[in-house]
Amino acid sequence: MVNCPLCDAAVDVEEDELDQGDILICEECGASLIVTGLDPLELEEAEEEEDDLDEEYEEEEEDEWK
């Protein structure tokens, strides 16, 4: 059992089925979490890749208007 690094709620996962880099969702706070270590199991808040893609799209639109 591991806790969410943001809200400290228990995150119920099958530790033996996880790989480093897997993304989980905290059921308590809804945060996206990434597996950063396996022994012991460690989680960190995942960076929002979707936001990065949105920013790149906006920058491309700005360049088209110039």
CATH of 2-65, one of 3.30.70.141, 2.20.28.160, 3.40.50.10860, 2.40.50.180: 2.20.28.160
Residue 26 confidence (pLDDT): 96
Among 58, 60, 3, residue whose Cα is nearest residue 33 = 3
The full set of domain ranges for the chain reads: 2-65
Residue 57 confidence (pLDDT): 52
Mean pLDDT by 10 residues, the chain (66 residues): 95 92 95 95 83 54 52
Residue 7 confidence (pLDDT): 97
Among 16, 55, 11, residue whose Cα is nearest residue 39 = 16
Residue 1 confidence (pLDDT): 83
